[in-house]
Amino acid sequence: MAHGGSDEWNAAIATAIAPLRDKVPVALALGMADPVTLQAGLDSLAARHVGRVALVRLFVSGASFRHQTDYLLGLRPDPPRDVARHAGGESHLAPLRHRLSIVTHADGIADFAAVARVLSERAGELSSDPSAEVVLVLAHGVGDDDENAALTQALERAVAPLRAEGYGRVHVETLREDWSGKREAAEARVRAFVEAEGAHRRVLVLPFRLFGFGPYAEVVAGLRYEEGGGLLPHPLMNAWIESTALRLFCDEGWPNPLGDCRAR
């Protein structure tokens, strides 16, 4: 599962999962727990005589669309109170039709320890003098305050190695893009930060998103900053997808073609 976006964004996801296709049947469901794409993905796996599915969710926060996903897959009985807009409203949301055994995970990309190396490389691609530079790591964020606080803590852990690399300052923000009121406040903080720091230091803005700079260009439009790249493409992200699937197989005791569970 992944959010989905432009053709270029979707192609980056397809490229990241391509190595898995030589080892195990793979389906890709784009959208915010979209029942249409999820059903199509499950049907395509069932047609290949798959019986067990490790669902890898490529979201920054492990909480993103988790309730809706679990409900659609039959992993929990209660429908979500807030339905992602792809579903078209709670009255139309119903568990999907399948006979598959499915497992998924609670963690998100922000919890992946090696993502710190990806951020370090992205900053290094822009940096010329770390002591005279500020790094802003900017993520989408979530609506629930507690979940957003947990995500922010995960991001703070991810940037800890950057703080040891001599940058003048490393700062984390979540834009909370889809929540009116919260987004406006976050945008104001982000612009104030970039404007103040950019007056006397280079500001390196790293998007903590799978691919591209996204809507952040609009948020910091007219300010002085250097634009970083997203987490993809990067071999460590490819490895996270495969290792997450392996972990799910192993935790269930399922035989799998991805590796030896005893070697984990």
Q: Distance (Å, rounded) from C-alpha 46 to C-alpha 24?
A: 13
Q: What's the pLDDT tens digit per position in 206-255?
A: 999 999 998 899 999 999 999 999 999 999 999 999 999 999 999 999 99
Return the ∠ at Cα 115 (arms to 127 and 159), rounded to 5°: 60
Domains and CATH numbers, the chain: 7-107+235-263 (no CATH), 110-227 (3.40.50)
pTM score of the predicted model? 0.90
Interatomic CA distance for residues 1 and 32, integer angstroms: 8
Q: Does 88 have pLDDT greater than 70?
A: no
Chain-centroid distance of CA 155 in Å reads 12
pLDDT of residue 89: 46
Q: Say how far apart CA 181 and CA 43 lie, in whole Å.
A: 40
Averaged pLDDT of the chain? 93
Would you place residue 82 in the very low, low, confident or very high pLDDT band (cuts 50, 70, 90)?
A: confident
Q: How confident is the model at residue 85 (pLDDT cuts 50, 70, 90)?
A: low
Residue range 5-17, pLDDT digits in tens: 999 999 999 999 9
Q: Taking the CB of residue 32, how many other CB atoms lie within 10 A of it?
A: 20
Closest among 52, 65, 2, 7 to 25, alpha carbons compared:
52
H-only helix segments in the chain: 7-17, 35-46, 66-73, 115-126, 145-163, 182-198, 216-219, 235-252
Cα–Cα nearest to 104, from 239, 240, 257, 251: 251
For residue 53, pLDDT over 70 is answered with: yes
Residue 118 structure tokens: 């990806």
100: three-class secondary structure by DSSP = coil
Q: What pLDDT was estimated at residue 163?
A: 93
Instruction: Note the pLDDT of residue 177.
Output: 77
- The answer to whether residues 103 and 248 touch, using CB atoms and an 8 Å cutoff, is yes
User: What's the confidence (pLDDT) of residue 86?
Assistant: 55
On whether the CB atoms of residues 195 and 201 are closer than 8 A, the answer is no
The yes-or-no verdict on residue 146 having pLDDT over 70 is yes
Alpha carbon 218 to its chain centroid, in Å, reads 21
Percent of the chain topping pLDDT 90? 83
